[in-house]
Structure 1
Amino acid sequence: MRQHFTFACAGETLAATLDGADGSTGLLIVSGGNEIRSGAHAGMAALAASVAAAGHPVLRYDRRGIGDSTGENAGFESSSEDIAAAARAFRERCPQLTRLLAFGNCDAASALALFGPAADVNALILANMWTIESDTVDEADEDAAASTITASAIRSRYLAKLKDPRELWRLASGGVNIGKLVRGLKQATAKTEVTGLVARLGEALATLDRPATLLVAEHDRTAMWFLEHWASDAFAKAHANPHLSLHRLNSGSHSFASAADKAWLKERILAELRT
């Protein structure tokens, strides 16, 4: 049964939706970006309903300044109190809960990595974790868009071009913009930058003392950046953390939009809830 209610957070009122079930292991869904709790194309609402049908209660909520909640939207790095308040409200609404998992996609995954342990959450499911300090890409501008492509993706693209006789002919006949080629080669050989956010996430995952399942739609741009950083020194200690597991999906959908992607995500979440 679906219920709508509100709870308090730092002097503000947050709106929430509970899909009820009798199970003692519940799922807290944290919305990413500026999405409302129903998710893109109501994807999180559908996920909540299907997980609840499998016997696990699910709580979704709008953080401060988003959707039906009051207050100022200060971004995911200011959401620690929202996550903690939601976890408390969930346990109060469902007193049978003995274990609470939290799921987030994109910057919600990053927020959970940083703040989930302090919110009395027993395990984390982190999808397509956001590791970029800012995103100023104008997708209509090819050069600007290319600047956000990971170095490994650029290397793969140039390797494919070098294997294509038509591309080699274009290069030999002057049909290639040399300036763009030089910029691309510089990006392809660039070392992945370890920014402040990446360093914090690396430290958070390295010291995590509870299970965390990392999910990546490996052709999604945000996930590609995560994988680039995951292979860097910033996450070297996290690789040794026995509480972490990484699962890849052959997809480019950031929101797990296709039926097959949705089914994969649901099964991964249910597997963790059953553990």
Structure 2
Amino acid sequence: MSRRHIAFDCEGAQLIGTLDEGGETTALLIVTGGNEIRAGAWNGQAQFAARIASAGFPVFRFDRRGVGDSDGVNTGFTESAADIAAAIAALRTAAPHSTRVVGMGNCDGATALVLAKGAGCDALVLSNPWTIEGDDSDEPAAAPPAAVRAHYLRRLRDPRAILRLLRGGVKIGQLFSSLKSALRPAPPPSSLAQIFAADLKAFGGPVTILLAGRDRTAQVFEASWDKSDPRVRRCAEATHSYVESQDWLEARVLEALR
């Protein structure tokens, strides 16, 4: 596998991207979430890119304006359509044999792709989309009532959890507070969730939605999403970055690329 770094322009700012080369004609564009650099936490996205590239698919990662090695002002994920479009153009120039681009984003990276109407991607892989009001995706999301109920149902099936409760290892006040929240009705979709749904409907290409079962961002998204949507793929034991579920994540992304 060959890896090279590429500088490209976005509205007068110099952005930096990294291309893991591959011979296939379909390429993967990774859009980072939050203010994360293109290598990802603990180099996780760089390692994932290498895994996909080893299957033959070119993978391009980049730092948007004002993040990591890129110049300019960081205006957040809601204003990153130009950055994504510039990254796609740089990818096509660096890997001219790529005739199809699949855009992949996690958390607000997924939402950024949708708000940009795909920004020129041919297909989308949207992981744990951020649909919480406000744009601070580094803050933990409150679990929706359905997720709280599912959590306690799992605990009730765990003999160790029951034994801990009987032995007084659970704070009763905290338990009742959680149970009270579990009985609340589901909140209405946020305005961002509604915009996300409308913009995704306007996208004409194939879409895969990946949800990590133990991630609160995914739980909030799913609480207001169509449960029967055939585009949704769930990994019950996965956390936000799929640290323990990399094989599952790789398989789902390769499905979208193929």
Answer 1 or 2: which has greater helix percent.
1
Of 77-86 and 207-216, the range deviating more from structure 2 = 207-216
RMSD: 2.9
Distance 2:48 2:182 in 1: 38
Distance 2:136 2:103 in 1: 29
2:127 counterpart letter in structure 1: A
Deviations 1:53-109 (A, max 9, x none): 211111110000100001111111010000000011111111111111011111101
Residue pair 1:123, 1:212 contacting (<8 A) in 2 also: yes
**2:200 maps to what in 1?**
205
Residue 257, structure 1, aligned to residue 257, structure 2 = no
Pick one of 146, 155, 164 that aligns with 1:152: 146
Distance 1:230 1:27, change over 3 A: same
Distance 1:115 1:148 in 2: 26
Distance 2:188 2:30 in 1: 30
Listed as ranges, the matches of 1:77-156 within 5 Å are: 77-117=78-118, 119-134=119-134, 148-156=142-150
Residue pair 2:215, 2:240 contacting (<8 A) in 1 also: yes
Of 180-189 and 191-200, the range deviating more from structure 2 = 180-189
**1:65 maps to what in 2?**
66
Which structure 2 segments of 5+ residues have no match?
A: none
3-state SS, counterpart of residue 55 of structure 1: coil
Distance 1:82 1:115 in 2: 10
Distance 1:185 1:26, change over 3 A: same
User: TM-score normalised to the size of structure 1?
Assistant: 0.81
3-state SS, counterpart of residue 51 of structure 1: helix
Distance 1:115 1:10 in 2: 16
Larger Rg over CA atoms: 1
Which structure 1 segments of 5+ residues have no match?
A: 140-144
May I ask how many residue pairs the two structures share in their alignment?
Answer: 251
Residue pair 1:116, 1:124 contacting (<8 A) in 2 also: no
Q: CA deviation at 1:208?
A: 2.5
Identity score, percent: 41
3-state SS, counterpart of residue 149 of structure 1: coil
Deviations 1:134-160 (A, max 9, x none): 488999xxxxx8x81211123345667
User: TM-score normalised to the size of structure 2?
Assistant: 0.86
Deviations 1:184-232 (A, max 9, x none): 5256323323221111011122333110100111111111111112148
